[in-house]
């Protein structure tokens, strides 16, 4: 009982409230380019395939590791001295998202579809950029030897992300519904102006998250730069510039492969790429599916966003505790199985029709699976990050997972069309997509155990390490 109480008490630390806030800021932009954009295009008469391919803008999240090294090093003029390195980048990204929402409010997708997509792409770039910084700021709140706190922090961050996404969705869908019911012709455009106010609120909230001193990050990066310059045979000012450029891009990758070994590093990246593809297929088309089988925006807001937020937050926090108790690898196995079962529940809903109780049950199970899978996944890759390159390495690992979900999930609408709108078979196929990642995880299980022991996380055990 005492050990259980100690495990739960980590959630009550002040830094967890800060991490929750960061998660909310991170999750909200996904409402804009996910649910809101999809339903906006659907109600404007565009096809499932078009909506699915529009999801390619999420591919930006798979590429943000390319500029993550710059985020680790470059200062934002004027803002960095006043707000700190991390917060300056977040505020700049939020300001760009706000401008884009104003742009959407002035655009008709039926006339300027490519303009709508282009603005969505800019939102995705800004969101992906702020995620780099938010993840780094979150990880830096916790010591490298705090395995329990890292798992709890991952759970709180995921809970915050889902809070930003779900409650943002409640506001977006209900606002659009109110404007539509009031006879406002451009109700989605007006909704985006309201959502712009939430961006301002996010920036105000960010000021309550203090930025910690950079410790020895700069010194460690300079050391790597000198090593690179020496190996390249450069000296003087030229050597410094070349070493900085090469170190910025190559240093984080070199560090990751050096720490894990080439074969294991590649295997880990393969698992990360495959893990959540099935979930992504479901998520990309879910709101279109709800609309097609007969649920209103208010129904979707209530069950998928409102009740979904409560269950997701609860399951995320419980999932964090559960992962601490049984170990991350076992937790990822269980979450993978849950994701497959969830997709089969949606097949049942597709064949049964718009049954409200079944809809609620499917959403509940989906939220449980998504929360559990995400918190274990985030905790896992957070443990693998070298603090010398926090932003870059986390962005690299997270973006590889995003690449798998984005590149494949963008064809989800085309797959439904190819199946002649047979949603039941579609969800069965997505359930099978989790199998390759579970096979990969099983092959890696012993290696992962050895790797994470140093982070004080016990895997495939009935207990936990002291302090975990």
Q: What is the CATH number of the domain that holds 121?
A: 1.20.1250.20
Highest-scoring range by mean pLDDT, 81-95, 289-303, 388-402: 81-95
Query: Is the dihedral angle over the CA atoms 120, 123, 124, 125 positive or is it negative?
Result: positive
* Predicted confidence (pLDDT) per residue in 336-395, tens digit: 888 888 889 899 988 988 888 888 888 888 878 877 887 788 777 777 766 556 666 777
**Domain assignment present for 382:** yes
**Domain assignment present for 464:** no
**Domain assignment present for 350:** yes
Q: What pLDDT shows up at residue 458? A: 37
CA–CA distance, 292 with 119 (Å, rounded to integer) = 26
* Band (224; pLDDT cuts 50, 70, 90): low
Evaluate whether 34 touches 161 at the Cβ level (below 8 Å).
Answer: no
Q: How many domains does the chain have?
A: 1
From the CB of residue 220, how many other CB atoms can be counted at a distance below 10 Å? 16
**Domain assignment present for 460:** no
**Domain assignment present for 418:** yes
Q: What pLDDT shows up at residue 154? A: 75
Evaluate whether 438 touches 336 at the Cβ level (below 8 Å).
Answer: yes
**Domain assignment present for 14:** yes
Closest CA to 405 of 308, 300, 281: 281
Evaluate whether 129 touches 89 at the Cβ level (below 8 Å).
Answer: yes
Closest CA to 117 of 165, 51, 28: 51
Q: What pLDDT shows up at residue 230? A: 63
* Predicted confidence (pLDDT) per residue in 111-170, tens digit: 888 889 999 999 999 998 988 888 888 877 776 556 567 667 777 887 888 788 888 888
CA–CA distance, 243 with 238 (Å, rounded to integer) = 8
Evaluate whether 69 touches 392 at the Cβ level (below 8 Å).
Answer: yes
**Domain assignment present for 262:** yes
Is the model's pLDDT at 2 over the cut of 90? no
Closest CA to 40 of 287, 379, 210: 287
Q: What pLDDT shows up at residue 143? A: 63
Region of residue 215 (phi > 0: left; psi between -120 and 50: alpha; otherwise: beta): left
**Domain assignment present for 80:** yes
DSSP 27-65: HHHHHIIIIIHHHHHHHTT--HHHHHHHGGGGGGGGTGG
Mean pLDDT of 403-424: 80
Give the domain range for residue 189.
2-209+217-455
25 or 12: which leads in pLDDT: 25
Determine whether 75 is exposed, middle or buried from the number of CB atoms within 10 Å of its CB (0-12, 13-18, 19+): exposed
Is the model's pLDDT at 68 over the cut of 60? yes
């Amino acid at each position: 009982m005492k050990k259980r109480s100690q495990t739960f008490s980590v959630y009550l630390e002040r830094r967890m409230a800060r991490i929750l806030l960061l998660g909310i800021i991170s999750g909200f932009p996904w409402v804009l380019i996910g649910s809101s954009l999809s339903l906006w295009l659907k109600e404007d008469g565009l096809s499932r395939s078009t909506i699915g391919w529009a999801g390619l803008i999420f591919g930006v999240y798979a590429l943000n590791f390319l500029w993550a090294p710059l985020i680790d090093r470059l200062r934002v003029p004027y803002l960095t001295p006043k707000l700190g390195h991390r917060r300056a980048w977040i505020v700049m990204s939020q300001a760009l998202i706000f401008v884009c929402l104003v742009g959407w409010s002035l655009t008709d997708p039926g006339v300027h579809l490519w303009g709508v997509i282009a603005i969505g792409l800019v939102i995705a770039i800004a969101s992906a950029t702020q995620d780099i910084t938010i993840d780094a700021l979150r990880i830096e709140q916790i010591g490298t030897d705090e395995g329990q706190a890292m798992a709890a922090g991952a759970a709180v961050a995921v809970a915050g992300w889902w809070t930003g996404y779900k409650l943002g969705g409640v506001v977006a869908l209900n606002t659009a519904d109110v404007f539509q019911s009031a006879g406002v012709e451009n109700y989605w455009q007006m909704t985006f102006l309201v959502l712009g106010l939430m961006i301002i609120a996010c920036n105000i909230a960010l000021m309550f998250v203090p930025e910690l001193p950079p410790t020895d990050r700069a010194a460690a990066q300079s050391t790597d730069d000198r090593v690179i310059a020496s190996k390249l045979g450069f000296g003087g000012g030229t050597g410094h510039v070349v070493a900085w450029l090469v170190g910025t891009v190559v240093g984080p990758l070199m560090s990751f492969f050096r720490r894990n070994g080439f074969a294991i590093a590649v295997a880990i990246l393969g698992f990360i790429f495959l893990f959540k593809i099935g979930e992504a297929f479901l998520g990309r088309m879910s709101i279109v599916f709800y609309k097609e089988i007969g649920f209103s925006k208010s129904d979707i807001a209530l069950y998928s966003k409102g009740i979904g937020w409560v269950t997701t937050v609860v399951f995320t926090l419980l999932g964090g505790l559960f992962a601490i108790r049984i170990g991350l690898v076992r937790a990822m196995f269980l979450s993978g199985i849950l994701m497959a079962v969830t997709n089969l529940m949606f097949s049942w809903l597709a064949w049964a029709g718009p049954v409200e109780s079944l809809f609620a049950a499917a959403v509940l199970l989906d939220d449980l699976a998504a929360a559990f899978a995400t918190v274990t996944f985030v905790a896992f890759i957070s443990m693998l990050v070298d603090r010398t390159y926090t932003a870059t390495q986390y962005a690299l690992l997270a973006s590889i997972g995003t690449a798998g979900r984005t590149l494949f999930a963008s064809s989800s609408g085309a797959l439904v069309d190819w199946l002649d709108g047979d949603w039941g078979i579609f969800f069965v196929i997505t359930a099978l997509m989790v199998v390759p990642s579970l096979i990969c995880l099983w092959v890696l299980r012993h290696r992962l155990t050895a790797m994470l022991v140093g982070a004080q996380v016990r895997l495939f055990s009935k207990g936990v390490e002291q302090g975990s």
